[in-house]
């Protein structure tokens, strides 16, 4: 059974930084991709970053390109999201997810069958 647990959320001032972590258990990740998603109140879940576990290739949404960085630590089975230059529009619940159906760098939530419970990020003005 795949288990994903996010951590690192909190309240940060606009312009600040935060790093989210996601620990993964119960699956060998080498052939799969992992992603970060977020959902703001009243909005649909949005894919913002994805990484291929094997070769580390990445993909970002336009909304976070050049501000956020996705990375992984193979030895620890950990994935990270470094978030810089945060603004109010980044306030959301952030989820990590695993694409155990394949290894494509998708940002579509429906592609990902396994999810964590999320961590809240609030950007204050």
- Using one digit for the tens of pLDDT, what is the confidence trace for 29-65? 998 999 999 999 999 999 999 999 999 999 999 999 9
Task: Quote the CA–CA distance of 84 and 82 in Å, as a whole number.
Answer: 7
- Residues 104-122, mean pLDDT to the nearest whole number: 95
What's residue 66's pLDDT? 97
Helix (H, G, I), strand (E, B) or coil at 110: helix
Range 68-95 average pLDDT: 97
| Residue of higher predicted confidence among 100 and 19 | 19
Please, which residues have CB within 8 angstroms of residue 23's CB and are 6 or more apart in sequence?
Answer: 4, 5, 7, 76, 77, 78
Residue 113: closest CA among 102, 99, 124:
99
Whether the per-residue pLDDT at 102 is higher than 90: the answer is: no
**Chain-wide mean pLDDT for the chain?**
96
Nearest Cα neighbor of 121 from 44, 7, 5 is: 7
Q: What's residue 119's pLDDT?
A: 98
Q: Is the pLDDT of residue 14 over 80?
A: yes
pLDDT band of 97, cuts 50, 70, 90 = very high
Residue 101 has pLDDT above 90, yes or no: no
Residues in CB range of 44: below 8 A, 6 or more apart: none
* Cα pseudo-dihedral 53, 55, 60, 65, rounded to 10: 120
pLDDT of 103 > 80? The answer is no
Pairing between strand 114-115 and 68-73? Answer: unpaired
Share of the chain above pLDDT 70, in %: 100
């Amino acid at each position: 059974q795949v288990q994903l647990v996010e951590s690192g959320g909190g309240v940060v001032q606009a312009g600040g930084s935060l790093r989210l972590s996601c620990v993964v258990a119960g699956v060998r990740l080498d052939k799969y991709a992992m992603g970060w998603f977020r959902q703001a109140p009243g909005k649909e879940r949005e894919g913002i970053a994805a990484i291929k576990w094997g070769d580390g290739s990445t993909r970002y949404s336009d909304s976070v390109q050049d501000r956020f960085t996705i990375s992984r630590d193979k030895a620890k089975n950990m994935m990270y999201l470094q978030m810089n230059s945060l603004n109010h529009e980044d306030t959301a619940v952030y989820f990590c997810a695993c694409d155990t159906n394949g290894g494509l760098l998708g940002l579509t939530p429906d592609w990902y069958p396994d999810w964590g419970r999320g961590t809240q990020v609030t950007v204050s003005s």
